[in-house]
């Protein structure tokens, strides 16, 4: 199974930029109504464990929060590989650098171009690692934060966002035939605040088989993934 | 009179008269900057010299002394019914830019105005914003309805076809009216020259610097310039590639986003 975990991939933007590969046979919006805030780490930790962990994850220390493999659906697979997954294998150094630049931009100490360069560099590094793992594990889960980071800084610039969504769509194209089961999922969406972006509740999911889900909760994928693991063990 | 400026003026005066006719209790906001001074002047012209509604100045108490001097002088000369909106409570509690720019602006500008609107029951505010000032302002219409929290839904605005300005349903707290929305910075300056309007001295260069946009003292910085006359300012704007509000550190959108990112734990 392949899980493409795309931070801040927004349902409306996927449609707007006609991302055909991201919109697999089944696709739609996730239901985040159980969460007070659409926080990245909380949502990914909840996705991994199938439990709403909002109350357990304090804002200040959220980036360092980690769940154990036995708490997650990863335990159902004989072999698995996760790349940069928040609350699990998050590349602390890379993301600390990104957040530092983000803060720097808002404090007039960094430029948008400088911020973009770092996040694209990290994206390419993760992408290379992710593509090299295809076909080698029962489950591969790769996390990419391009749409989140660039979205926060430049959501109002359609050209830049088109470039981001095009890149993520290409990534989906590269993995679509690499496994029988491909799940694309985002933690939350993104909405415009003038030229910037703010987390929205338009989270996105897509699966390469028809499931007939209606507004699934991000925690409800746990069972689906478990079933896939059991059936193909 | 320059034909083009005459057209701009005509349109603005029509909007102002329309607002006066459609709303029971309008008022015009005046910061003493060039745009709002031109707007107050347009209001004067629209009603043959005497503005039939109050002129509001929001006093944060952090403005330049030149602004207060200019305000009092012109208010007297133009016989304005001047109302000063000030959030005394927040000032007493120590609100200042050091507490955060967005927080300070919200308390000393937005809240001060909210309180005044509530107290005086204004149903329309005439503002001197222009579309070319900022990306988000380009989405504004001449009539812009606001709710009680000053929220503006740019995706749900009244249509303004054939220059007809219609008051929408009752679902708004007050209407923002923007008579100079279609003007550019250069046109405002050309109008200032043509009408011989008084200009705040802060706009003129001193020691190689001048203010291009006026705000509160801690949050406004001058731009490098040698333009010490209006003609030189006009010339400078014609060739400038710097955005008008480059000297204003108070970028509400940016400050708001920073606050949101903080709340999400990014900072």
| Chain A neighbors of B137, CB-CB under 8 A | none
| Among A39, A63, A195, beta carbon nearest to B253 | A195
Q: What is the dihedral of CA B192, B197, B199, B205, to 10 degrees?
A: 50
Model pLDDT, residue B173: 78
- Kind of pairing between the strands at B55-58 and B82-85: parallel
CB count within 10 Å of CB B83 equals 16
- Sign of the C-alpha dihedral computed for residues B109, B112, B116 and B118 taken in this order: positive
Instruction: Search chain B and give the residue with CA nearest A38.
Output: B264
Q: Residues B67-107: pLDDT tens digits? A: 999 999 999 999 999 999 999 999 999 898 888 777 888 89
How many Cα atoms within 13 Å fall on the side-chain side of residue A70? 0
* C-alpha to C-alpha distance for A154 and B70, rounded to whole angstroms: 39
Q: What is the ipTM of this complex?
A: 0.82
User: In this complex, do B257 and A196 lie within 8 Å of one another by their Cβ atoms?
Assistant: yes
Q: Residues A181-225: pLDDT tens digits? A: 999 999 999 998 878 899 999 999 999 999 999 999 999 999 999
Model pLDDT, residue A99: 94
Q: Does A195 touch chain B (CB under 8 A)?
A: yes
Query: Chain B: nearest CA to A130, how far in angstroms?
Result: 25
Residue B243 has pLDDT above 70, yes or no: no
Q: How confident is the model at residue A96 (pLDDT cuts 50, 70, 90)?
A: very high
Residue numbers of A between 123 and 182 with CB closer than 8 Å to B: 152, 156
DSSP secondary-structure letter at B222?
Answer: P
User: In this complex, do B135 and A156 lie within 8 Å of one another by their Cβ atoms?
Assistant: yes
3-class DSSP state of B5 = helix
Q: Residues A134-183: pLDDT tens digits? A: 999 999 999 999 999 999 999 988 999 999 999 999 999 999 988 889 99
C-beta contacts of A156-162 below 8 A and 24+ residues apart: A156/A192, A156/A194, A156/A195, A156/A196, A156/A197, A156/B135, A157/A195, A160/A116, A161/A13, A161/A17, A162/A17
Residue B135 has pLDDT above 70, yes or no: no
* C-alpha to C-alpha distance for A196 and A203, rounded to whole angstroms: 18
Q: Residues B172-199: pLDDT tens digits? A: 778 899 999 999 999 999 999 999 999 9
Nearest to A92 by CA among A53, A132, A41, A45: A41
Instruction: Search chain B and give the residue with CA nearest A196.
Output: B257
Instruction: Search chain A and give the residue with CA nearest B260.
Output: A198
* C-alpha to C-alpha distance for A118 and B169, rounded to whole angstroms: 49
């Amino acid at each position: 199974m392949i899980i493409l975990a795309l931070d801040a991939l927004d349902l409306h933007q996927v449609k707007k930029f006609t991302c055909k590969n991201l919109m697999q046979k089944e696709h739609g919006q996730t239901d985040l109504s159980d969460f007070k805030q659409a926080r990245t780490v909380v949502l990914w930790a909840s996705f991994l464990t199938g439990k709403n962990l909002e109350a357990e994850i304090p804002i200040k220390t959220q980036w360092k929060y980690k769940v154990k493999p036995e708490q997650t659906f990863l335990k159902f697979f004989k072999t698995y590989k996760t790349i940069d997954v928040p609350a699990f294998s998050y590349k602390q150094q890379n993301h600390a650098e990104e957040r530092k630049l983000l803060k720097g931009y808002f404090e007039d100490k960094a430029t948008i171009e400088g911020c973009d360069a770092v996040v694209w560099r990290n994206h390419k590094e993760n992408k290379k690692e992710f593509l090299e793992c295809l076909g080698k594990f029962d489950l591969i889960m790769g996390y990419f934060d391009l749409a989140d980071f660039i979205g926060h800084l430049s959501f109002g610039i359609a050209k830049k966002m088109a470039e981001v969504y095009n890149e993520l769509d290409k990534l989906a194209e590269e993995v679509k035939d690499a496994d029988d089961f491909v799940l694309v999922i985002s933690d939350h969406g993104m909405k415009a605040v003038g030229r910037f972006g703010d987390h929205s509740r338009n989270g996105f999911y897509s699966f390469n088989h028809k499931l007939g889900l209606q507004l699934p909760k991000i925690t409800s994928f746990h069972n689906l993934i478990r079933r896939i693991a059991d059936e193909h063990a | 009179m320059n034909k083009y400026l005459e057209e701009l003026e005509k349109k603005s005066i029509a909007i102002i008269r329309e607002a006066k006719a459609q709303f029971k209790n309008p008022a015009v906001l005046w910061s003493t900057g060039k745009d709002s001074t031109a707007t107050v002047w347009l209001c004067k012209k629209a009603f043959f010299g005497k503005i039939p509604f109050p002129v509001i100045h929001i006093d944060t108490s952090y403005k330049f002394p030149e602004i207060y001097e200019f305000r009092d002088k012109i208010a007297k000369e133009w016989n304005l019914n001047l109302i000063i909106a000030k959030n005394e409570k927040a000032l007493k509690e120590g609100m200042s830019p050091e507490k955060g720019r967005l927080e300070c602006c919200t308390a000393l500008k937005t809240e001060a105005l909210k309180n005044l609107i509530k107290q005086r029951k204004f149903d329309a505010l005439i503002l001197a914003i222009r579309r070319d000032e900022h990306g988000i302002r380009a989405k504004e219409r001449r009539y812009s309805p606001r709710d009680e929290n000053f929220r503006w839904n740019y995706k749900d605005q009244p249509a303004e076809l054939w220059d007809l300005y219609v008051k929408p349903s009752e679902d708004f707290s007050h209407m923002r009216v923007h008579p100079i929305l279609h003007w550019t910075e250069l046109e405002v300056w050309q109008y200032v020259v043509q009408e011989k309007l008084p200009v705040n001295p802060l706009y003129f260069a001193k020691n190689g610097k001048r203010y291009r946009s006026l705000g509160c003292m801690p949050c406004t910085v001058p731009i490098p310039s040698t333009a010490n006359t209006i003609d030189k300012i006009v010339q400078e704007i014609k060739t400038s590639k710097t955005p008008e509000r480059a000297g204003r550190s108070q970028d509400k959108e940016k400050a708001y986003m920073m606050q949101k990112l903080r709340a999400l734990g990014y900072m």
